[in-house]
Amino acid sequence: MPFVNIRITNEGATAEQKQELIQGVTDLLQRVLNKNPATTFVIIDEVETDNWGIGGQNVTTLRQRAAAAKS
Amino acid sequence: MPFVNIRITNEGATAEQKQELIQGVTDLLQRVLNKNPATTFVIIDEVETDNWGIGGQNVTTLRQRAAAAKS
Amino acid sequence: MPFVNIRITNEGATAEQKQELIQGVTDLLQRVLNKNPATTFVIIDEVETDNWGIGGQNVTTLRQRAAAAKS
Amino acid sequence: MPFVNIRITNEGATAEQKQELIQGVTDLLQRVLNKNPATTFVIIDEVETDNWGIGGQNVTTLRQRAAAAKS
Amino acid sequence: MPFVNIRITNEGATAEQKQELIQGVTDLLQRVLNKNPATTFVIIDEVETDNWGIGGQNVTTLRQRAAAAKS
Amino acid sequence: MPFVNIRITNEGATAEQKQELIQGVTDLLQRVLNKNPATTFVIIDEVETDNWGIGGQNVTTLRQRAAAAKS
């Protein structure tokens, strides 16, 4: 009866992609630990880029810098 | 000083119902463990049905199948 | 299919008390939101008092101060 | 490689303030535990006041009472 | 830069199995959403069976019932 | 009434260091958002290095590689 929480930035993942994550992680738990899919929960949280930081910097700014570096 | 996080699908719980959950779980912790309500926190997260999976399938699809089975 | 995470300090809750919490919060979700108990998950985390802070102070110290104030 | 989740009520924190939290907590972990900022993640969740309870009461109501008491 | 939290009951998963989960979910996020493995975090929490409930009943009891039903 | 969850690997943080984190993050929330310390909760989770992955690899192995590279 595993519980999985996946947190990603809110940058356009489609319902199909999120369904792939749900199916994929449920399969993984069945394959590795023989966990029953019927009682495997997966919750995906999509987080605004202003609200996610890495290296002390929010992702909004990191994305802008990456875009500027490419242009 | 308990902390409780309740996660439900985003399917129309009213402010009154959410208040009942907050009050109910706070009372429960006081009754069972003598926890002080003044320092009991409750946070309710409402999750989109596309973002919640069970049995490898998102809840949006599960709800559609259940509705189809009824009709 | 709710998911509930209850966090309390690690101060001697018994298996019976934890079972009361599990049953109580599952009943609450059924009563208030008509949630199916069969797919209601509850996880209780017991946290060391050194690892829980309130008012900028860990609970170990808060408990010692409260005990000293009583004696 | 710390992971920090900050939960606050959704009451108008600006992107600049959230960036200050991200930077501040990342600095704190480097200063106290010598954690590498490059692998420090911070996620801020902003929670509706209807969905946050303290003392068995949602914050929407607590704010209204505080406002009424002032007027 | 995804963050994944996998919660399972504490029933003997080996370090090798946990490594398979870490690798598997990291690969999944790269395959489905093109997420960079270098900034994908996975944390596995192993929860005592007394502290996990489903259907209003802790897993310790559910396991005992299942074992009794088999014998 | 913020809630902060700090997750670090279980590699010997002392009670004093954890107290510094609790105090530091509580001060940060007061300074940046004027949050009341009396209702600021901080929980620190210390996670086994086998149970934390980054780049698809558990931290136990990452630490061994780093140690080998130094010797």
DSSP chain E: --EEEEEEESS---HHHHHHHHHHHHHHHHHHH---GGG-EEEEEEE-GGGEEETTEEHHHHHHHHHHHH-
Distance separating alpha carbons of residues F27 and A32, to the nearest angstrom: 43
Domain of C22? 3-70
- If we measure between CA atoms, which residue out of A1, A4, A8 comes closest to residue A42? A4
Distance separating alpha carbons of residues C60 and B65, to the nearest angstrom: 51
With touching defined as 3 or more inter-chain CB pairs under 8 Å, the answer for chains E and F is yes
3-state secondary structure of C66: helix
In contact, E57 and E17? CB cutoff 8 Å: no
Q: Does B30 touch chain C (CB under 8 A)?
A: no
- If we measure between CA atoms, which residue out of A21, F57, C45 comes closest to residue E18? F57
What the block records as the tokens of D8 is 């606050």
CB contact under 8 A, F33 and D25: no
| Distance (Å) of CA A60 to CA A48, B3, C6, C20 | 9, 30, 33, 45
Mutation target to probe the C interface, by most C beta carbons within 10 A, among F9, F19, F30 is F19
Can you give the pLDDT at residue A35? 98
Can you give the pLDDT at residue C70? 87
3-state secondary structure of B22: helix
Chain B residues whose CB is inside 8 A of the D53 CB are 19, 22-23, 26, 40-44
Query: The domain spanning residue D45 has which CATH number?
Result: 3.30.429.10
Per residue in F15-70, pLDDT tens?
A: 999 999 999 999 999 999 999 999 999 999 999 999 999 999 999 999 999 999 98
| Closest by Cβ to A6, choosing from E1, E2, E8 | E2
Residue carrying structure tokens 């590699």: F11
| ipTM for this prediction | 0.97
CB contact under 8 A, E13 and A33: yes
What the block records as the tokens of C54 is 């309130």
Residue D27 exposed, middle or buried by CB count within 10 Å (0-12, 13-18, 19+): middle
Name the closest residue on chain E to residue D1, using Cα atoms. Answer: E41
Compute the mean pLDDT over every residue in chain A, rounded to the nearest whole number. Answer: 97
Can you give the pLDDT at residue C39? 96
Chain E residues whose CB is inside 8 A of the A17 CB are 32-33
In contact, D52 and D45? CB cutoff 8 Å: no
What the block records as the tokens of C69 is 């104030």
Mutation target to probe the C interface, by most C beta carbons within 10 A, among A6, A26, A36, A41 is A41
Q: Does residue A55 have a pLDDT over 90?
A: yes
DSSP state of D18: H
- If we measure between CA atoms, which residue out of C45, C40, C37, C50 comes closest to residue C6? C45
Neighbours of E19 (CB within 10 A): 20
Distance separating alpha carbons of residues A20 and E33, to the nearest angstrom: 10
3-state secondary structure of F36: coil
Active site residue D2: yes
In contact, C51 and F14? CB cutoff 8 Å: no
Per residue in D7-64, pLDDT tens?
A: 999 999 999 999 999 999 999 999 999 999 999 999 999 999 999 999 999 999 999 9
What the block records as the tokens of A61 is 């700014």
> CA A13, A16, A20, A26: dihedral to nearest 10 degrees?
100
Instruction: Count up the domains in chain D and report the number.
Output: 1
CB contact under 8 A, F43 and C52: yes
In contact, C9 and C47? CB cutoff 8 Å: yes
What percent of chain A lies above the pLDDT cut of 90? Answer: 96
| Closest by Cβ to A54, choosing from D41, D45, D46 | D41
Can you give the pLDDT at residue E71? 80
Distance separating alpha carbons of residues C6 and B41, to the nearest angstrom: 10
For F32, how many CA atoms within 13 A lie in the half-sphere containing its CB?
A: 23
In contact, E5 and E45? CB cutoff 8 Å: yes
CB contact under 8 A, E29 and A21: yes
Strands across the sheet with E41-47, in order?
Answer: B57-58, B52-54, A41-47, A3-9, E3-9, E41-47, F52-54, F57-58
Can you give the pLDDT at residue D71? 80
Q: Does D54 touch chain B (CB under 8 A)?
A: yes
Q: How far is E47 from chain D (nearest CA, A)?
A: 19
Q: How confident is the model at residue A49 (pLDDT cuts 50, 70, 90)?
A: very high
Q: How confident is the model at residue A1 (pLDDT cuts 50, 70, 90)?
A: confident
Q: How confident is the model at residue B1 (pLDDT cuts 50, 70, 90)?
A: confident
- Strands D52-54 and D41-47, by their bridges, are unpaired
> CA F17, F45, A21, A24: dihedral to nearest 10 degrees?
120
List beta partners, residue A57: A54
Query: Left (φ > 0), alpha (ψ -120 to 50) or beta: where does C12 sit?
Result: left
Can you give the pLDDT at residue B48? 98
The amino acid occupying position D43 is I
